[in-house]
Amino acid sequence: MTRNIVFFVYPGFDLLDLAGPMSVFGDVGIYRDNPYVLQVVSETGGPIASTVGAPVLTTRLDDQVPIDTFVVVGGWPGCKQRPSEAMARFVARAAARSRRVASVCTGAFLLAEAGLMQGRRCTSHWRYAADLQAAFPDLKVDADRIYMRDGNVWTSAGSSAGIDLGLALIEEDVGLQVSQSVARGLVVYHRRLGGQSQYSALLEMDPPSDRIRGALAFARERLHEPLPVERLAEAANLSPRQFGRAFLAETGTSPAKAVERLRAEAARPMVESSAQALDQIGLAVGFSDPERMRQAFVRCFGQPPQALRRAGRANRAGEPSGDVEAYPPLSA
């Protein structure tokens, strides 16, 4: 069965928001007969300039062609520049003809403005999530998700999260094996789970010295093993006292707290996506007992593992459960 995937762009769209998911769908043909036909459309057709200036050639949407998935990419209009009423109507009409609708990054603003997300759970880039919530109070915006599904509407975080969204849609359509193969071919993680945080402990810490970075990499590869400060200091070729001081100075946290965060981040996808016993997951990432993992999850994510597991099940089932200008609604 042919599935028409239609990407909607506009002047000032983000090029990666388009190229990432398009590459994912296009690469399915490497591993099997590709059911996807890809089309990039705009209101006017013709070349449309992206945020970096590079234009993409688009076509006008053919009202006679069925749409399987309608994807609104991010960019501007976004949270600062209001789309025109004509653009909102265009998105609404295309969505009404589609089996499912998706957005990448600030594309969620366009879906909301088109009236497609009333009361739904959704996500967007963490930088603009608060503005999305303020502009559309009836939404349930979760700023800490890579992607999210509510019914037939899928939303994702910024830029590279469009790749994760595409992989998840492919898995739903043609299966896990194909999705995994596409991810390997693109040299990316096989679909970071939708519930995975947009943040990373390693990215947040970002130590400047090779020794501390090396110690963190050493820890990440051996989370299931005991990782006392003495062992990490040895990996960094420092005394435990020197290492503790340098680590705190460069990362703003202690080695023990950093290891706890890394273990919690490693455990969270398994907690949310598998039926494996929580104590087994904890042991696999180095928590000595379930209570230690529970306390770590509450500190890191604000919820215990059991709550995140329930939320993960609801998310897979599609159940409802700054200094940026406010985004004004369109006039009636």
Q: What is the mean pLDDT of residues 35-50?
A: 96
Q: What is the mean pLDDT of residues 278-299?
A: 94
| pLDDT at position 128 over 80 | yes
Give 308's pLDDT tier (boundaries 50, 70, 90).
confident
pLDDT in tens, 108-120: 999 999 999 999 9
Give strand ranges (E) for 62-215: 67-72, 98-104, 121-122, 140-141, 147-150, 153-156
| pLDDT at position 79 over 60 | no
Q: Across all residues in the chain, what is the average pLDDT?
A: 87
pLDDT in tens, 230-288: 999 999 999 999 999 999 888 878 999 999 999 998 999 899 888 899 999 999 999 99
Give the per-residue pLDDT at 196: 52
- CATH superfamily of the domain spanning 201-316: Homeodomain-like (1.10.10.60)
| pLDDT at position 49 over 80 | yes
The reported pTM is 0.65
Same fold flag, 3-186 and 201-316: no
Query: How far from chain centre, in Å, is Cα 6?
Result: 20
- CATH topology for 3-186 is Rossmann fold (3.40.50)
Q: What is the mean pLDDT of residues 56-61?
A: 96
List the domain boundaries for the chain: 3-186, 201-316
Residue 71 has phi, psi (to 5 degrees) of: -115, 125
- Report, as residue numbers or ranges, the catalytic residues: 105
Q: What is the mean pLDDT of residues 148-164?
A: 92
Cβ-proximal residues to 297 (8 Å cutoff; 6+ apart), any chain: 264, 267, 268, 271, 303, 304, 305, 308
Nearest to 87 by CA among 109, 65, 102, 104: 109
| pLDDT at position 325 over 90 | no
Which tokens hold the place of 112? 């909301």
